[in-house]
Structure formats: C-alpha cells, structure tokens
Structure 1
Amino acid sequence: MTATTTRSVLREPRFLRLWAGTTASGLATWALPFVLGLAVLEGTLDPVWLGVALGVRTAGFLAAVPVSGVLADRYSRRATVLWSGLAATAGTAAVAAGLGAGPGWLLVAGSLVAGAGQGACRPAFQALVAEVVDADRRQQANAATTFAVRVTTLVAPAGAALLAAVLPVRALVAGIGVLWVLAALVPPRGTGRPAAGVTGSSFWRDFADGVTEARRHPWFLAGLGALATVIATGYSATGVALPLVSRDVYGSEAVLAGALTGYTVGALAGAVLVSRWRPVARGWVALGGLALYAVAPLSLLVPLPVWVVVAAYVVCGIGIELFNVPWFTAVQREVEPSKLARVSSLDFLVSYGLAPLGLALIAPAITAFGTTPVLATCAAACAAAPLLAALTPGTRRFTGTRRRARSERG
C-alpha cells in the first residue's frame, strides 16, 4: 500500500478547502429557514410570507439541480460551485433586504435565487470530490464531510438563538450570505475537463445522457428508489407525526427535541464508524442501514418511555450514515466521470423531489385514517423498500453495470 493511500485525507490541503466549502454551504442551507423562523418570532416577517418564501426556495432548489448537473459536466465543477455560491449569496442579500419594511416580492425573489444556488452547488460538490480525492480515500472524505454537516446542525441552533439575542435577524441573514461567499471561493480547482461531445449539445440531450448512464447501473436505480421511499415516508413521519405525538402523547416538546438530537448524535456516530469500516457486502450493509429508519415510525406507534423513542432515533441516525457515505462513494467510483454531476443531480432530484409530496400527504392521511395505520404503513415502506432493492443485481457491493450485473449476483 502506498503512502498516498495511507495518508489521512484530513491532512490534504486541497480536500480541507473542499471540506470547508461544502460545510459552509451545508450550514448556510440549513440556517436560512431557521433564521427566517426567528424573524417570525421577532415580528419582522409574517408567517404567510415565511411559507411562501420557503416554498419558492424549494422550487428553486429542485429546478436548479438538473441544470447544474449538465453545466458541471459541460464546463467545470469548480466554476459551477463558484457561480452557484455567488447566486446564493445574491439571493440571501435580497432576502435580508426584503425583511421588515422591505417589499415582499424581494423576499420571495431572493428566496427563489438562494434556493437555486443551493441546489446548483450540490451535484457540483459531489463531482468535485472525485476530482480532488483519490478513489481509496473518498469514503473517508465523504464521512468527514457528513460529520461536519451533522455537527453544525447539532450546535448551530443554539448558536443562532444566542446571536439573535444580540443581533437583528437581518444581520443573521447577512451572515448566511458570508457563508455562501466562503462556499463559492474556498474550494480548490478540480482536475476534470469537459467530455468530448458534451459542450454545445442541447440541455435535454445532455441530461438524457445522464439518465442513460444512471440506467446502466441497476444498483443505482434500486438504491435510489429505496432512498426516495424512505424520505417520502419515514422523513415525513418525523417531520409531521413526531411533533404531534410529542405534544399529544407526551405533553411537551421534550420528546421532539430529544429525538432530533438523538438522530444527529447517531448520525455522527455512524459517520465515524463508516469512515473506517469497509465491509465486503458494502451495498447490503448500506441498504440495511437505510432500512433501520423503520424504527422511527415504529417508536411512535404506542406510548413508550421517552428514552426508547430517543434511542430509536439514535439508531436511525447511525443507519442513515451507513447508507449515505457508501452511497456517495459508490456513485463517485462507478459512474462515468464525464457524467458524474448529471447522475448526482438525478440522485438529488428524485430523492429530495419526493420529500415535499410526502410531507403534504401525511397530515391528511393521518386525519383520514388515524396516526397508527399511517405510521405502520410508513414503517413497512421504510423496511421493505431497501430489502427489495437488495434483490437487484449489483447491490451487494454497489458495483457493476447492467451488462455485468448478472455475473455479480450474490
């Protein structure tokens, strides 16, 4: 084994720059809705405008993801990160200007542009990892990145609340803009070049080529279907049913806060574990980790001790990182490099695109059928989808194309 493969990726200046930029973008993406929620409490933002702003932000995110995937493969992943980060900076500045006495249209337009910048940087950052980090250390690199994002989501709410006590919300929004400047400027240049025959093609043809590349990998389609199912059902149960159960069954928000904190702590532990663990059947282990999210809705079916609910969410956090890190690493390893950003954009588009649908449907479903049947259905879907995906050729190691998949079964 060479010195290059044994040297920790955390000692590489180029990766540290990429890690810092990715972490800044993740923190900025998380912080905006939280800070806008503080603006409602402060009285500088109407709740109706908050809902509109968050809605158009999500729309901008989803619209920009496929566009940025094509652009990142056509031109430069680093350039796509730069311009998407600057777009998010400009959008965040417009949001700050639209708070308080500012015009509502400016707040909405800024949220749309900020969301587009957030969505545009995701596939570019994923593809840039493959250019900056050698293949043997990408799992460690992905684990380090997700660890940093989880830490920020754990400690940032308290930090933002403390800052809100001494600074106006508009200043906090401006601080989010500074994070986007860092995300745009700090990452290093990659080594990739546009693929021959890509530049100058139509957008739809280039995106279709990315879909074709994704279809070459049966394990990718199966894993993506399982992930989308878990996000649309399990995440929706956490987002809607958990607050209701916390209020109606336990009589306070303590269970909600404890469960979400436990989930983040579990995800941190999972990121540490998977940074070093290299199981032979890495795909099956990852899908098994994803199936663990069934524990979340199961823990809400009947009244249980609070510690059981929190422990269930710790298990879910561990499981989601057992899936996330090997999944990102496999995509970076297996997908044709010239099409990596487009396949990554398809990953984000499908998995995150179904999340709003699940959130919109679960509350009416609970009203129509009751909490217990809906949670039981969500738990069954979370468990069944990854297990069914594991039957697909190539999922055992997250490797192989459609042509080779039969020979790699089992």
Structure 2
Amino acid sequence: MRLWTGATASGLATWALPFVLGLAVFGRTLTASDLGLLLAARTVGFLAAVPVAGVLADRHSRRGVVLWAGLAAGAAAPVIAAGLERSVPLMAAAAAVAGAGQGACRPAYQALTAEVVDAGRRQQANAAMTLAVRVTTLVGPSSAALLAVFLDTRALLVGIGLLWLVAACVPPTGTRPGTAEETSEPSAGAVRASFPAEFAEGVREARRHPWFLAGLGALTAVIATGYSATGVALPLVSRDEYGTEVVLAGAMTAYTAGALGGALLMARWRPRSPGRAALAGLACYGFAPLGLVFPVHPVVVPAAYAVAGIGIELFNVPWFTAAQREVAPDKLARVSSLDFLLSYGLAPLGLALIAPAIDAFGATAVLAACALVCFAAPATAALAPGARTFSVARGRGDTTSITQ
C-alpha cells in the first residue's frame, strides 16, 4: 500500500504540472510561448535523468533514488511558483529539475516494485498502479479546476511539491535480490565503471531478451505514430469534420475509461500466451487513428478510442510484469530506463513531424499510415523469439497456462 500510494502521488504530480501551468495561461499569468518553453525544459530534464537514474538505481538503493528524485521534483515546484510573473528563465530551470525528478522516479519505481512485491502478485500490483494513473487522469482535471476556484496557481504549484514529498517519503524499502556482482566487495583501489559503460551493460542485458527489444520497438512505433495522431490530428478532425469539441472530449474520456477497464481486466486475467495477448492489445491503438480516417458517425470515434484504451493496458501490465520477472535484478532499472527513454523519448519527435506531414500529404494519408504502423509493428514483434510468453525460456513450445 505504501508503494502504491507513493507511485500514485508521483503520477498525480507528474500529470498536474502541465495542467496547472495551462490554468496559468488561462488566467493570463503565463503566455502560451512561455508554457511551451517550460514543458520543453521539463521534457529535456526527464530525458536527461532517465538513463542516469537507471544506472544509479542499479548501483545504489532504489529506495534512495526514489527519495532524492522526489525531493528534487518537490523542491522545484515552489521555485516555479516563485518565478511566476517574475522570471521565466528561473521557471524553466526549475521545470527542468522537476522533469529530472520525474524521469529519475520512473525506472527506480519499476525496480522497487520487483523488490517490494513478491513474484506471484506483481501483475496485480502493476495493474493497481496503472489503475491509479488512469483514475487520476479521469478525475484530475475536474478536481484541479475545482481547486482553482479557491486557490491561485502558486498555491496549486506548492501542492504539487507536497505530492512529490509523499512520493519521495512514503514508499518502503525493498529486499534487493542478491547477485554475484552485488554481494562481492570491490577490491581496494578498484575503479567503478563509468556511467556510459554501466548503461551499456543494461543495453546488453536488454539484448539478451529478443522479445523485449521487439516489444520495445513496437511500443516506440505505436507511441510515435498513434499518440501523435491523438495529440495533433484528433483536435483538427473534431473541429473541421464535426464542428464541435465534444468529439475531442468524448474520445479522450473514452480512452481513459477503456484503459481503466483494461487495467481491471489484467488484475485477474492470465492469458495462456501473455506476450501475444499483450501485443494484440498494443495493436488495438491502431483503431484510434483509423477512426479518424473515414467520415463516420461521431460516436464511432470515442468507441475506437475506448478500444485503444483497453488495448494499451492489456499491453502495459504484462509488459512491466515480464520485465520484472525476466531481467536480471541488478540490471532491471537500467533496462527500464531504456524502455522509458525510447518509448517516451521519441514521442515529441512524432508530435513535431505529424503536423508538417499532414500539411504535405493530407490528414487521410497520414492517419492511414499511422494506423498501419500501429497494426504492423506489434504483429512483427510477435514473431520475435520469446514473444509468445514474454520469456526466452518459455518462448517456444510451451502451451501451458502461465499462472502466478
């Protein structure tokens, strides 16, 4: 429960920062260009911290990395508040620190889950964590808007800092599985490997699992195309084809509701071939851009996004659980950092390219291409060794049901 509470507070604080800064734009205490600068600084901090945190979390205590990452992000929030209407460079620097704290938390929390939760309950634990994230996304905007009636933006930013303190201080210390590398004392005068060298060890560990590399490639392709279609094309289609923002709001709400349903399902369901079921779920994201290609009834678009939401959690929960089970314990944080670095790190590139692509080739062609990638990438990944069960040892010839 302490682990879940800390992870939930981390997720809520991560989501809340751009939303609260958006409220500042609405209240004219921040310009739209300044908002873009702050979000870009946060993204840079996130991407810079993820690989470093992966190495630190494998080198030292995962609990300690969570603590310091949460404290850094928590300290940055009131600095952002102090810079509001005073110093945009100060806010940008603090936003970069906040992003670094967010990025450092992600691989550390993934590895800490493997320490705190026994193997038989990790799928339920991962489902519970992703469920909390989806509930936050669903009820967060209305809650923040309600709080904004009584509190100004600075107070809300300080509240984000308090959430990060919860994320930093509440999680428990796990029992770290011992390995030969960890239990052997370094000899006197031994020189520790550099950060790039230690991160490269994590990359080599990832290469030992073909199913992981294939799945990560598919996830990266889906996020770079399907997520970009959601972020850029959905508002355009909602405005130009349907003439109302209701389709946009309905699609995003349906996606979150579908993800909630998918997380609840994965808390109990144990598919016979978890890898292929997960990749099939990931492919369901293709219905999101596909629903925007043709002139369909407005109800079809939210329905397509609901299917995409269900599918993404059919993928996420077994994906995290398999990594915690299959990856060497002393390299789990580095492998997780590689996961976040590629899958989420390339998302801004997709967002940056999709609008020019739509201008050059038209929305229909670009959305059809995005849908094709979303369907084809997971199907290709399903052919990799071990993809059927997300396990090299059980990747071939095992037809028994996997239970935990």
TM-score normalised according to structure 1 size: 0.93
Query: Aligned AA for 2:278?
Result: A
Superposed displacement of residue 291, structure 1? 0.3
Aligned to 1:355: 347
**Is the contact made by 2:235 and 2:245 (CA closer than 8 Å) also made in structure 1?**
yes
Superposed displacement of residue 165, structure 1? 1.5
Aligned to 1:107: 91
- Aligned pair partner of 2:37 in 37, 52, 66: 52
The 2-side partners of 1:369 and 1:177 are apart by: 44
In structure 2, the gaps of 5 or more residues are 187-191
Aligned to 1:91: 76
Superposed displacement of residue 155, structure 1? 0.3
The 2-side partners of 1:394 and 1:76 are apart by: 31
Aligned to 1:3: none
Cα shift readout 1:82-141 (whole Å, capped 9, x = no counterpart): 0000010111121111112x2111100010000000000000000001001110110000
What is the correspondence of 1:302-321 to structure 2 with a 5 Å cutoff?
302-321=294-313
Q: Does 1:71 align with 2:56?
A: yes
SS at match of 2:270: coil
SS at match of 1:332: helix
Aligned to 2:175: 191
Query: Aligned AA for 1:139?
Result: Q
The 1-side partners of 2:92 and 2:387 are apart by: 42
Cα shift readout 1:18-40 (whole Å, capped 9, x = no counterpart): 00000000010011001100001
Aligned to 2:218: 226
**Is the contact made by 1:88 and 1:113 (CA closer than 8 Å) also made in structure 2?**
yes
Aligned to 1:151: 135
The 2-side partners of 1:184 and 1:193 are apart by: 22
What is the correspondence of 1:320-359 to structure 2 with a 5 Å cutoff?
320-359=312-351
In structure 1, the gaps of 5 or more residues are 1-15
Cα shift readout 1:352-390 (whole Å, capped 9, x = no counterpart): 011000000000000000000000000000000000000
Q: Does 1:42 align with 2:27?
A: yes
Query: Aligned AA for 1:111?
Result: A
Shifted more, 90-99 versus 309-318: the winner is 90-99
SS at match of 1:60: helix
The 2-side partners of 1:327 and 1:284 are apart by: 11
**Is the contact made by 1:73 and 1:338 (CA closer than 8 Å) also made in structure 2?**
yes
Query: Aligned AA for 1:343?
Result: V
Give the count of matched residue pairs: 392
- Could you tell me the percent identity over the aligned residues? 68
Aligned to 1:276: 268
After superposing on structure 2, the runs of 4+ consecutive aligned residues of structure 1 that deviate more than 2 Å are 193-201, 404-410
Superposed displacement of residue 408, structure 1? 6.7
The 2-side partners of 1:93 and 1:65 are apart by: 23
- Aligned pair partner of 2:372 in 375, 380, 390: 380
Superposed displacement of residue 201, structure 1? 2.2
What is the correspondence of 1:99-178 to structure 2 with a 5 Å cutoff?
99-100=84-85, 102-178=86-162
The 1-side partners of 2:369 and 2:103 are apart by: 30
Query: Aligned AA for 1:182?
Result: V
